[in-house]
Amino acid sequence: MAQQMVRLWSCLSLPKASLFYGWGWGWGLAKAEKVAARKEEEENFDPANPPPFRLGEIRAAIPTHCWVKDPWRSMSYVARDGVAVVGLVAMAMLLDSWVVWPFYWLAQGTMFWAIFVLGHDCGHGSFSDSARLNSIVGHFLHTGILVPYHGWRISHRKHHQNHGHVDRDESWHPLSEKTYRDLGSLSRKLRFSKPFPLFAFPLYLWSRSPGKQGSHFHPGSDLFHPNERSDVITSTICWLAMVAMLLSLSWVIGPVPMLKLYGAPYIVFIMWLAFVTYLHHHGHAKKIPWYRGKEWSYLRGALTTLDRDYGWINNIHHDIGTHVIHHLFPQIPHYNLVEATEAARPVLGKYYREPQKSGPFPFHLFGILARSLRIDHFVSDVGDVICYQTDPQLHGGWQDKSE
């Protein structure tokens, strides 16, 4: 009887086991097929294709409260950064040691950059709904770090309105091959050899980018409309007043103390500015398109921007690395950008490029910057959808092996 029960159980068990293993094998095969299909889809994805969604769909995915501008909260960040700047000055003057000064320069230069970001919010109107408050705070913040508030605000607005357009974009736009070839060999070398591009911001304020004319300080520049003349003059006067004050302080306390307290941090600040803004628009592992003519649109241009992770610096410089949503909707306050990005990602799909995670400090970005400067040199003079090309002669015939 026992043997019969064993035989019966064996007969009943075999189909169940076969069914179980067959189901497991089928599930594994289905999973593998999905992974393979996803990989094939990613490989075939072309970021230059028009996206299958509209700007309104992204806007609708973002919670309503993300658009609310809280002037008190914005001012709290100004107060926070102001306290940090004053505290760093007091600490440096109290200790007055060459062991401390380099740390002070790095920390204070980073705080100057954070202050710039808050003034940048004022320029976009994301600081508050009050144009007057935005202008007053923006002048106070930007003048203190030698940026002409209105001159920069207007040119930066032009950048946002035309980003991704080869001919109309304002900052860090590609050079056409003709413009590139017209540059002297030394100019080409300096423009694409680190660390020289990191010092470009003051030159950009004075004379803009190669191939463009005008100045952020001159009200007659073609950057500005006639009705913006008084705004530009106001910011230039504020800038001159700041220069005069710095020269006066140099006379009172001496040029060397002023260089240590203000000059060196200012250099760190302009390096931060160039480093961050360049990497918002360059350095992705795969080619990113630029547009001309009818191929360009506000949405397609903004989708070529990149988010970056700066580790501990994210909070210090007000999440400016969360840049894609900022380009799409610059009215969103900086303190809501992370939440807005998370809400929009399902809509953006593959058009959103996940940033590489950073350690406490974003050392990984130095390698990305170096690689981009070696391969992103110019774009073709013709074509409406184009990508960066490399001048193999610029860096001794260096070529990127990953291309």
pLDDT in tens, 294-351: 999 999 999 999 999 999 999 999 999 999 999 999 999 999 999 999 999 999 999 9
Q: What is the pLDDT of residue 222?
A: 87
**Nearest residue to 169 via CA among 394, 379, 310, 390:** 379
Answer whether 320's CB lies under 8 Å from 272's CB.
no
Distance of CA 247 to the CA centre of its chain: 33
pLDDT in tens, 248-289: 999 999 999 999 999 999 999 999 999 999 999 999 988 899
* Verdict on whether the full-model pTM lies above 0.85: yes
Average pLDDT on 1-13 reads 44
Q: 43 pLDDT band (50/70/90 cuts)?
A: low
What's the chain's Rg over C-alpha atoms? 27
Average pLDDT on 358-376 reads 95
> What does the alpha-carbon distance between residue 126 and residue 67 come to, in Å, rounded to a whole number?
9
Q: 7 pLDDT band (50/70/90 cuts)?
A: very low
Using the predicted structure, report yes or no on whether residue 18 has a pLDDT greater than 90: no
Answer whether 287's CB lies under 8 Å from 375's CB.
no
What ranges make up the beta strands (E) of 228-367?
290-291
**Nearest residue to 211 via CA among 395, 327, 372, 381:** 381
Lowest mean pLDDT among 120-124, 148-152, 359-363, 390-394: 390-394
Other C-beta atoms closer than 10 Å to the C-beta of 295 total 17
Q: 366 pLDDT band (50/70/90 cuts)?
A: very high
Q: What is the pLDDT of residue 14?
A: 41
Q: What is the pLDDT of residue 323?
A: 95
More confident: 332 or 26: 332
Q: What is the pLDDT of residue 396?
A: 62
Q: 401 pLDDT band (50/70/90 cuts)?
A: very low
Angle of the 101-124 helix axis to the 131-143 helix axis, nearest 10: 160
> What does the alpha-carbon distance between residue 357 and residue 293 come to, in Å, rounded to a whole number?
36
**CA within 13 Å, CB half, 223:** 31
Q: What is the pLDDT of residue 393?
A: 87
In sequence order, what are the residues at sequence separation of 6 or more whose Cβ sits closer than 8 angstroms to the Cβ of residue 71? 127, 128, 129, 130, 133
pLDDT in tens, 206-217: 988 877 888 999
> What does the alpha-carbon distance between residue 58 and residue 345 come to, in Å, rounded to a whole number?
9
Q: 242 pLDDT band (50/70/90 cuts)?
A: very high
Q: What is the pLDDT of residue 171?
A: 84
